[in-house]
Amino acid sequence: MDDLYPLLSLPVARLGAGTVTLGQALAAAGGVALLAVLLLALALWRAGGARARAAVEAAERAREAEARMAEIARAQAEMQGRMGALADVFGSRQAELTKAIGERLDGMTSRLGQSLTEQTRSTHENLAKLQERLAVIDSAQSNIQSLAGQVVQLQQILSNKQTRGAFGQSRMEAIVADGLPKGAYEFQATLSNGNRPDCLVRMPNGAPDLVIDAKFPLESWNAMRAAAEADNAEGQRYAAQAFRRDVEVHIRAIADKYLIQGETQDTAFLFVPSESIFAGIHEDFEGLVQKAHRARIVIVSPSLLMLSIQVIQAVLKDARMREQAHLIQHEVVRLMEDVGRLDDRVRKLQAHFSQASRDIDMILTSTDKVTKRGAKIEALELGAPGGADAGEAAAGRDEPARRVAAAPAGRLRLHVVDEEE
């Protein structure tokens, strides 16, 4: 130790005015080491406390975890029970739902089947109706085709002069034949000058015949219409002039050929086989109409000819009535004679009825008297002769009407006072 003391007293460091020796330094280092040990012990103690607290906390946490695990297990058990109940409920509900869905599917299938059946039947009915309508359309189409053929044929007829004349002649003949009786007209009759009009209407009472001509010129009319459709004003003007000239020539020909004094009427008919042509003539060619009137030619359409034929029919009927007037008068005279005889016979029958009525009244008077006498006889009472009862009975009777007395020898006499007949 003595050897160590000098070592310990050796200066190690100088601090300000003082000097730090090795011993002091070692003492300080020991103090520091002790302090470090104390601090380490304190830290270990604290660490032990912390570990103890941590162990306590861990134990509490473990208990809490076990409690929670128990609760979780209990909840899991409850959940499993609820899940089982839900599974049962879901199973039953699923079965019910499956059954309901099956029933609805069956109902829907049946309704769908019925709907399909009805739809199929309706479709068949509609198809049948459609087929009927298609058949009607086919027939209408065939009629239209035939009508188109007839129109083409009519156009061909009108394009040919001879066939057109025959067409107008046929229409005129149909109108006349429908309106007049047989014998009142004649087609293609020959006049005294050798001409043959299309129709002669026999007028009554020996009056001259009426001439009807059906040969109307249509070439220039068709040319005029074609020019109007083509918007050719110049061609339309030339066609109108040609039409006016042709009609004037035809009017003069009718007046020269068919108007015969004393044989035919002073007026003749020019038949136009179309209402549209007749209206066009009166609208656009008023001069032709005036010239025809001055030539005593009347332009008539089918409707006007029909009206004229009806008027002629009425005239013929009136003439026939006048022709048969004397027969009617004779029949009326005979009818009046029959009526006079009927009046005499009725009067005689009335006299017979009056006499029979008087006889019946007399018979009723006689039967009344007989009835009254019978009533009087029925009212009589028989009693003893001269007795009191008989006297009393007689006193009670109607004395102005009857009187009863007892006759001698037991006979009863009846005195009855009657009114004069």
The pLDDT profile of the chain, 421 residues, written as one tens digit per residue, is 555 555 555 555 555 555 656 667 777 777 888 888 888 888 888 877 777 787 888 888 888 888 888 888 888 888 888 888 888 887 888 888 888 888 888 888 888 888 888 888 888 888 888 888 888 887 888 788 777 666 555 554 444 444 445 557 778 888 888 888 887 888 888 888 888 888 888 887 778 888 888 887 777 777 878 887 777 788 888 888 888 888 888 888 888 888 888 888 888 888 888 888 888 888 888 888 888 888 888 888 888 888 888 888 888 877 777 777 777 778 888 888 888 888 888 888 888 888 888 888 888 888 888 888 888 888 875 444 444 444 444 444 444 444 434 333 333 333 333 443 3
Distance, in Å, from the CA atom of 255 to the CA atom of 406, rounded to the nearest integer, reads 127
Predicted structure pTM score: 0.41
H-helix or E-strand spanning residue 405 = strand 402-406
Q: What is the CB neighbour count within 10 angstroms for residue 134? A: 12
Q: What is the CB neighbour count within 10 angstroms for residue 145? A: 10
Distance, in Å, from the CA atom of 211 to the CA atom of 269, rounded to the nearest integer, reads 6
Share of the chain above pLDDT 90, in %: 0
Distance, in Å, from the CA atom of 382 to the CA atom of 365, rounded to the nearest integer, reads 30
Distance, in Å, from the CA atom of 352 to the CA atom of 72, rounded to the nearest integer, reads 141
What one-character DSSP code corresponds to residue 202? Answer: P
What are φ and ψ of residue 31, in 5° steps?
-60, -40
What 3-state class would DSSP assign to 352? helix
Burial category of 218 from C-beta neighbours within 10 Å (exposed 0-12, middle 13-18, buried 19 and up): buried
Give exposure, 25-44, as e/b (b: 16+ Cβ within 10 Å): eeeeeeeeeeeeeeeeeeee
Distance, in Å, from the CA atom of 399 to the CA atom of 415, rounded to the nearest integer, reads 10
pLDDT tens by residue, 65-114: 888 888 888 888 888 888 888 888 878 888 888 888 888 888 888 888 88
